[in-house]
Amino acid sequence: MEFRQISYFVAVAETGSISAASRQVHVAQPALTRQIRLLEEDLGTRLLERHARGVRLTIAGKALYDDAVQLLDSRTRIRTRLSSLGQGLIGKVSLGVTVTHLWVPAVAELLRRYRDRYPHVAFEVFPLLSGPQLERLREDSLDAGILYLDSAEQPGLETRLLQQDHLMLAVPETSHWSAAPPHRLAELTDTDFVWGVRSISPVYYDRVMAHFARLNFAPRVVQYGADNITILSMVAAGLGVAIVPSASRAHLMPGIRFMDLPELQTCDMPLWLAWRSSNDSPALHNLVGLTDAVFG
């Protein structure tokens, strides 16, 4: 039983004649006669009653017809599904984004445009910090991530620079710094700082610490926060000032003033899109393409 024979048989069944079917499928009549006979021999059953004016289906032929149509349908369905999958029009793609950057307009734009353009792709966005993203990329439970990396060269990963973040200062509106912004970090020696925990995002943390070491400045930390939102909440509550990525500006939290300091702006914090080099998902590559369009 081969697909060729099945489609011939369906044509014969639908036209009620081998000759008519042969014209329909653009194959000579003897070829069809033979293929039908081969099918019958293969199945061990007569499928047609041959008459002078055409053929009629036997009981077995009728039974086969329905199944045959279904088989052919299955085949075209598989074809179109694979084709859609190949173009990344269906399937699934998962993306990790640091919570901080979910609020950045360009990122939001990316998510929105992807959903608009590929509405049938199951698009899952996971709010994850850089460390967990990297882990899940490596273990293949995440297709792509928007995250901080210590280097563009990541074994087994491909990367693309999205934007260059810097650091900035976040102070409570109630603080005297709010009215009279500092110009140098040194002015903040006696100021209380809210600080991050290293474990949750070592790449970011180490980068900031390295920069501060170069500046020879050691903040007086009075409080630690688990993530950026927590830290900013504490700043808003007046617990102290904080050093945050410039992307945080998108948060628009009440009670906070963001300020740029030249010494902080020189700390480059590149934001990357990363994915496994061996990931052949077209849906993912569409996402990469769209990222180029949005950030390029």
Binding site for DNA (CB under 7 A): 2, 4, 17-20, 26-31, 33-38, 50-55
Is there binding between residue 83 and a second copy (CB under 8 A)? Answer: yes
216, 225 contact by CB (below 8 A)? no
Q: Which two tokens stand for residue 251?
A: 């948060």
266, 133 contact by CB (below 8 A)? no
Binding-site member from 14, 28, 50, 81 for a second copy (CB under 8 A):
81
264, 243 contact by CB (below 8 A)? yes
Decide whether 24 or 84 has the Cβ nearer to DNA. 24
Degrees, nearest 5: CA angle 125-107-178: 115
Binding-site member from 14, 30, 50, 63 for a second copy (CB under 8 A):
63
Residue 287 contacts which entry, DNA, a second copy, none (Cβ below 5-8 A, type-dependent): none
Is there binding between residue 280 and a second copy (CB under 8 A)? Answer: yes
121, 283 contact by CB (below 8 A)? yes
We find the least distance from the C-beta atom of residue 40 to DNA, in angstroms, to be 9
E-strand ranges in the chain read 48-51, 54-57, 91-97, 121-127, 144-148, 157-165, 167-172, 192-196, 220-225, 241-245, 256-259, 269-276
We find the least distance from the C-beta atom of residue 30 to DNA, in angstroms, to be 3
Decide whether 155 or 254 has the Cβ nearer to a second copy. 155
Calpha distance 256→277 (Å, rounded)? 41
Residues 41-60 that bind a second copy (CB under 8 A): 43-46, 49, 58-60
Calpha distance 296→290 (Å, rounded)? 9
Calpha distance 86→27 (Å, rounded)? 32
Q: Which residue type sits at 285? A: H
Site string for a second copy, 88-127 (x = CB under 8 A): ---x------------------------------------
Decide whether 60 or 209 has the Cβ nearer to a second copy. 60
We find the least distance from the C-beta atom of residue 92 to a second copy, in angstroms, to be 10
Decide whether 143 or 263 has the Cβ nearer to a second copy. 143
Stretch that binds a second copy, among 27-35, 37-45, 129-137, 203-211 (CB under 8 A): 37-45
- Token look-up 């060269």 returns 153
Is there binding between residue 86 and a second copy (CB under 8 A)? Answer: yes
CB half-sphere exposure, 262, CA atoms < 13 A: 3
Q: Which residue type sits at 197? A: V
Decide whether 52 or 180 has the Cβ nearer to DNA. 52
Q: Which two tokens stand for residue 239?
A: 């617990």
Is there binding between residue 141 and a second copy (CB under 8 A)? Answer: no
Calpha distance 208→228 (Å, rounded)? 14
Binding-site member from 20, 71, 99, 215 for a second copy (CB under 8 A):
71
Residue 278 contacts which entry, DNA, a second copy, none (Cβ below 5-8 A, type-dependent): a second copy
Residue 19 contacts which entry, DNA, a second copy, none (Cβ below 5-8 A, type-dependent): DNA
E-strand ranges in 197-266 read 220-225, 241-245, 256-259
Q: Which residues bind a second copy (CB under 8 A)?
A: 1-4, 43-46, 49, 58-60, 63-64, 67, 70-71, 74-75, 78-79, 81-83, 85-86, 91, 278, 280-282
